[in-house]
Structure 1
Amino acid sequence: MGGLGAVLALVDSGSPLRGPFTLFFLLAMPAGAIAAALRGLDPFGRTVAAVAGAVVVDMLVAQGMLAVHRWSVLGGIVAVTAISVLILLLVVVRRLRGRTSRRRTD
């Protein structure tokens, strides 16, 4: 559903589902990335922290775009996606690095 919202916004569709699906994407994508990074917390705490982090990411992207006078819907979606993918890549690298160091010490 989130991916569909991003696609609808990127192709500038006139669908009435564009708004809710895009909002879901803008909250779910960073929340999922942050939740993956907070693997050690209990489920409720991880959910609360991930949703709060997603709101922070969205607000920082919006504030940064407004500060440099480059506001656009497409730019915001691309920026939030890039930040979320970067967080996910950092989590994957950290996990892979942890596995290799454990194998070397065994």
Structure 2
Amino acid sequence: MPLLAGAATAIGAVGAILALADVGSPLRGPLTLFFLLAAPSAALAAALRGLEPFGRVLASVAGAIAVNMLVAQGMLAVHRWSVRGGIVVVTAISALLLLLVVVRRWRGRTARRQAS
């Protein structure tokens, strides 16, 4: 399983780099789409740790689609739409969500240690 997660991370990173560098590769579209679905999905799946596996996958993919649509709608509303900007914003939202999950887990461990 760690090998699969590492491969998915590498594929997503390559997709983001190809899109940000504006490389004219035929793989740019599919790999960028993979990144735009995988990054928010992974962050949401980490936040939804208590759900059953199927529900967790379904909720995280639906949430990733919602995040992408909200980013696109927000950027269009302020007349600042760009592919690079969309990738940067989705990356920032995903990273912030993962950071919040890590901080929440760290604080939970600290509170449990103090109570013991």
Q: TM-score range by the shorter chain?
A: over 0.9
| Aligned residues: CA RMSD | 0.2
**How many residue pairs get matched?**
106
Does the residue aligned with 1:14 lie in a helix, a strand or coil? coil
Question: Are positions 1:103 and 2:83 aligned together?
Answer: no
Listed one character per residue, the Cα deviations across residues 6-57 of structure 1 (whole Å, up to 9, x for unaligned) are: 0000000000000000000000000000000000000000000000000000
Could you say which residue in structure 2 is the equivalent of 1:17?
27
With normalisation by structure 2, the TM-score equals 0.91
Deviation, structure 1 residue 62: 0.1
With normalisation by structure 1, the TM-score equals 1.00
Q: Structure 1 runs of 4+ off > 4 angstroms?
A: none
Could you say which residue in structure 1 is the equivalent of 2:67?
57
Question: Are positions 1:39 and 2:49 aligned together?
Answer: yes
| Unaligned stretches of 5+ residues in structure 1 | none
- d(CA) in 2 for partners of 1:82, 1:93: 16
Tell me the percent identity. 75
Q: Specify the code of the residue in structure 1 equivalent to 2:115.
A: T
Could you say which residue in structure 1 is the equivalent of 2:81?
71
- d(CA) in 1 for partners of 2:44, 2:76: 24
Does the residue aligned with 2:26 lie in a helix, a strand or coil? coil
| Unaligned stretches of 5+ residues in structure 2 | 1-10
